Amino acid sequence: MNKKKLIRMVSIYSVIYTAITLLSSVLYLCNGVYEDPSGNWHELDRAMILLIGIAAFELCTKLPVKPLILRYVTAYIPSLLLAFAYVWSTGLREPLAKTAYRDIWINFTSLFVLLCIINTVIYIFKKKRGQKREKE
């Protein structure tokens, strides 16, 4: 992995982590909760789950699998299983919420789908731009 790609990956990770944390804080405040009830472990868990997702997504964009949707599914399934395993392991530290697996599935899948949509749009845009240059 070259320096430019590493910086890109760290930047994406940082922006998404910051946005998710700010959104979570705003939602807590809107509901009258002034401290994160899960504490610092929750922040570290969020960081680990996001790292799993971003790393899986970055790896899936490099897979030599076609079509694109199959490439996404190939990366999604093992990374979701890894996220579930991480959630399970946090249960060894403290009791899990009753909706822990559902919550991680919704959050992980939503972010993964959003990244896939963005990546697909960029892929199509680059492909069309490349075709225009070939015609010239």
- Condensed to tens digits (0 to 9), the pLDDT of residues 42-82 reads 888 889 998 988 888 887 777 787 888 888 888 899 999 99
The DSSP code for 97 is: P
pLDDT category at 133 given cuts 50, 70, 90 is low
- Return all residues near 90 (Cβ < 8 A) that are at least 6 apart: 41, 45, 96
Q: What is the pTM assigned to this prediction?
A: 0.77
Look at residue 123 in the predicted model and tell me its pLDDT.
85
Backbone dihedral angles phi then psi of residue 4, each to the nearest 5 degrees: -65, -45
With a cut of 90, say whether residue 24 has pLDDT above it. Answer: no
Residue 112 and residue 78 in contact, taking contact as beta carbons nearer than 8 Å: no
With a cut of 70, say whether residue 114 has pLDDT above it. Answer: yes
Rg (alpha carbons) of the chain, rounded to whole number:
18
- Tell me the one-letter amino acid at 3: K
Look at residue 132 in the predicted model and tell me its pLDDT.
66
Q: How does the average pLDDT of the chain come out, rounded?
A: 86
CA distances from 124 to 8, 42, 111, 120, 129 (A): 20, 37, 20, 6, 8
Q: Which residue has the higher pLDDT, 19 or 136?
A: 19
